[in-house]
Homo-oligomer: A and B are copies of this chain.
């Protein structure tokens, strides 16, 4: 495991909310990050889909990890998310990439997919700004 991924995993474990959700950082390298989440009933809304708040959490966090991979310790300043399909399946995968890197900020994109019986479907796309902590 790379130092960057090991560092990222340590940070994620230090986030009580990420533990409550059950997210796992599965990749982190310069300019990219991937977070996987196994779907369970308590992550759903009233129609049986994964709650939009869970998907927002994944996008927010994965954007920060991609930005953090090039900026160091950083936070999400803002992001925008489009939900494009109801999220159904056994697990969700968020993948984020740095689109542009400045001195203090990185603009990143994130795609969230749902995996159902080995078929992966896009459920949300996000774009946002990650800011380096002073």
- CB-CB nearest in chain B for A23: B53
**Chain B residues near A6 (CB, 8 Å)?**
none
- CB-CB nearest in chain B for A107: B82
- CB-CB nearest in chain B for A57: B53
**Chain B residues near A99 (CB, 8 Å)?**
82, 84, 111, 122, 125
Q: How many copies of this chain are found per oligomer?
A: 4
For this complex, into which size category does the number of interface residues on chain A fall? 35 or more
User: Contact at A129–B77, with CB atoms within 8 Å?
Assistant: yes
Known contacts A82-B99, A126-B127; 17 further A-B pairs (Cβ under 8 A):
A14-B46, A16-B51, A17-B53, A20-B20, A20-B43, A52-B57, A53-B60, A75-B83, A77-B82, A77-B83, A78-B81, A78-B82, A78-B83, A84-B99, A84-B100, A99-B111, A129-B129
> Which residues of A line the B interface, CB within 8 A?
11, 14-21, 41-46, 50-54, 56-58, 60-61, 64, 75-85, 99-100, 102, 105, 107, 109, 111, 122, 125-127, 129
